[in-house]
C-alpha cells in the first residue's frame, strides 16, 4: 500500500474524506496538524488517489495524540486503516515516544486493540441543537497565559501552542474565571465545519463548570454545538443532561450523539529493546527517554501521585482541600473516590 507524508496540497483530500465521515474538522484544523508534526502525518494512495489519512501530535516528547484516521468508504476492510496506524506508530517510536493515545469509535476500536491499544475510559459526545439569535461579536474574557501553568498539570504536558492557536481562531470562547487567588476554571473552543465545539472545559467545582458552559452557549452563534465529557463523571453528565432537557423544551432535536473510548498504547517490547542499556542507541551514547514519560501510560488505579510533584499553585490548591490521594490514569489526574479530571475536557473537585 503506497503511503507518504501528508502535505498542505493534500488538505482538500483530507476535507473530502472527513466530509464522507461527517466529521467536524476544518481546513485550519488540518493545517494545525501539519504544522505541529510535519513529518508525522501520512496519506495512503490507490492509483494516485488519496484514500486514507492519519495525523500525529507530540506533546513534550512525553506522549502523542493520533487522530484523523480516515479511510474512504469504498476502500475500507482492506487493511488501509491498520497500515496507516502502523506507519504512525513506527514514526512515533522512532521519535522516542513511549505512549500514544486516541479516541476510538465502536467501529474502530477492534482495529486499535489489535495494534496494542487498551481502553482507558469512555467519553460522551453531546450534540446540542438549539435556536439562536444574532449575537454581537465578543472577545476573550481572560488571558491564555493565566491558565498555562495549571493546564500543564491537568493535561499532563505543555500544550500552550495549541491553546494559543485556539484563542486566535476563536477568541470569544476563551473564558477564564479568576477569583482572588487561582483560576476557578477556563474554557477554549473552536469553530468546526458543522458546529462549534467546546474544549478544553476546566472547572474547580460544579458552579464554575455551569457558568463556563452557559457562557459558551451564549457566545456561540451556531445552531449546533458539541460538548464532550467523561462518561463516568456524574456531575458533568448531569449538567449536560439538564442543559439538553432545557434546550429540548425550547427546540426539539437535542441529542446525545455517541460514546467513544479513550485508548492508549504503552511502550512495546520492540521499543523497550531499542532503548535498553545494551541497545545500539545506548552504545552510541544516546540517552533513553526519561522515565517520567511513562507517566502517561495506563497505570493501575492504585498508583499514587504525590502532590509534591505538581506545580506549587496546584499543590496549594490540593492541600487546601485535603484530598487523600490521587491516582494516575493517562493524561490528567483522577481522585480515587471521585473524578478530579476530565482529561483535556473538564476538571471537577
Residue 182 pLDDT = 67
The pTM assigned to this predicted structure is 0.76
Residue 247 pLDDT = 81
Instruction: Enumerate domains of the chain plus CATH numbers.
Output: 3-120+264-274 (3.40.630.30), 126-261 (3.40.630.30)
Q: Report the candidate in 332, 329, 327, 337 with the shortest Cα–Cα distance to residue 306.
A: 327
* C-alpha cell read off for 284: 552510541
Residue 23 pLDDT = 95
Residue 178 pLDDT = 81
* Per-residue pLDDT tens digits of the chain, which is 349 residues long: 799 999 999 999 999 999 999 999 999 999 999 999 999 999 999 999 999 999 999 999 999 999 999 999 999 999 999 999 999 999 999 999 989 999 998 888 998 999 999 999 999 999 998 888 777 666 667 788 889 988 998 898 999 999 999 999 999 999 999 876 667 899 999 999 999 999 999 988 889 999 999 999 999 999 999 999 988 888 898 999 888 888 875 665 556 668 899 999 976 544 444 444 444 443 444 333 333 332 333 322 222 222 223 344 443 333 333 322 233 333 333 322 223 333 333 333 2
Q: Report the candidate in 48, 41, 50, 118 with the shortest Cα–Cα distance to residue 87.
A: 41
The single-letter DSSP state of residue 288 is P
* Per-residue buried b or exposed e for 72-87, using 16+ beta carbons within 10 Å of the residue's own CB: beebeeeebbbbbbeb
Report the alpha-carbon distance of residue 186 to residue 316 in Å, rounded: 19
Residue 299 pLDDT = 27
Q: Report the candidate in 284, 288, 255, 286 with the shortest Cα–Cα distance to residue 271.
A: 288
The single-letter DSSP state of residue 115 is T
Strand order through the sheet with 117-129:
3-5, 42-46, 49-59, 63-71, 100-104, 255-265, 117-129, 224-230, 196-203, 185-191, 175-177
Residue 116 — left, alpha, or beta (φ > 0 → left; ψ -120 to 50 → alpha)? left
Residue 245 pLDDT = 83
Asked whether 294 and 328 are in contact (CB, 8 A), the reply is no
Q: Which ranges of 190-284 does DSSP label H, i.e. alpha helix?
A: 206-219, 234-250, 269-274, 280-283
Give the gyration radius of the chain's Cα atoms.
Answer: 21
Report the alpha-carbon distance of residue 50 to residue 72 in Å, rounded: 9
Residue 69 — left, alpha, or beta (φ > 0 → left; ψ -120 to 50 → alpha)? beta
The single-letter DSSP state of residue 287 is P
Amino acid at each position: 500500500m503506497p503511503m507518504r507524508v501528508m502535505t498542505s496540497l493534500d488538505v482538500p483530500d483530507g476535507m473530502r474524506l472527513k466530509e464522507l465521515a461527517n466529521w467536524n474538522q476544518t481546513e485550519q484544523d488540518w493545517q494545525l496538524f501539519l504544522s505541529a508534526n510535519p513529518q508525522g502525518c501520512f496519506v495512503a494512495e490507490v492509483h494516485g488517489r488519496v484514500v486514507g489519512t492519519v495525523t500525529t501530535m507530540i506533546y513534550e516528547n512525553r506522549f502523542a495524540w493520533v487522530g484523523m484516521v480516515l479511510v474512504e468508504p469504498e476502500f475500507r476492510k482492506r487493511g488501509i486503516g491498520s497500515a496507516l496506524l502502523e506507519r504512525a506508530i513506527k514514526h512515533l517510536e522512532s521519535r522516542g515516544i513511549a505512549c500514544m493515545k486516541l479516541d476510538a469509535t465502536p467501529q474502530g476500536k477492534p482495529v486499535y486493540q489489535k495494534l496494542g491499544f487498551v481502553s482507558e475510559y469512555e467519553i460522551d459526545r453531546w450534540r446540542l441543537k438549539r435556536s439562536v439569535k444574532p449575537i454581537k461579536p465578543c472577545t476573550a474574557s481572560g488571558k491564555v497565559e493565566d491558565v498555562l501553568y495549571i493546564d500543564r498539570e491537568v493535561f499532563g504536558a505543555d500544550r500552550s501552542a495549541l491553546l494559543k492557536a485556539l484563542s486566535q481562531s476563536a477568541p470569544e470562547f476563551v473564558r477564564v474565571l479568576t477569583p482572588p487567588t487561582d483560576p476557578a476554571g477556563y474554557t477554549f473552543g473552536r469553530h468546526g465545519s458543522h458546529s462549534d465545539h467546546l474544549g478544553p472545559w476546566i472547572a474547580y467545582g460544579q458552579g464554575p463548570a455551569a457558568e463556563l458552559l452557559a457562557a459558551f452557549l451564549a457566545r456561540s452563534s451556531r445552531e449546533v454545538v458539541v460538548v464532550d465529557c467523561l462518561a463516568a463523571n456524574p456531575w458533568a453528565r448531569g449538567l449536560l443532561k439538564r442543559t439538553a432537557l432545557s434546550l429540548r423544551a425550547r427546540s426539539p432535536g437535542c441529542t446525545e450523539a455517541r460514546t467513544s473510548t479513550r485508548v492508549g498504547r504503552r511502550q512495546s517490547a520492540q521499543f523497550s529493546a531499542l532503548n535498553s542499556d545494551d541497545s545500539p542507541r545506548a552504545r552510541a551514547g544516546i540517552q533513553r527517554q526519561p522515565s517520567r514519560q511513562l507517566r502517561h501510560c495506563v497505570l493501575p488505579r492504585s498508583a499514587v501521585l504525590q502532590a509534591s510533584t505538581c506545580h506549587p499553585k496546584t499543590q496549594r490548591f490540593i492541600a487546601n482541600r485535603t484530598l487523600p490521594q490521587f491516582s494516575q490514569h493517562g493524561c490528567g489526574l483522577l481522585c480515587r473516590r471521585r473524578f478530579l479530571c476530565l482529561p483535556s475536557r473538564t476538571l471537577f473537585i
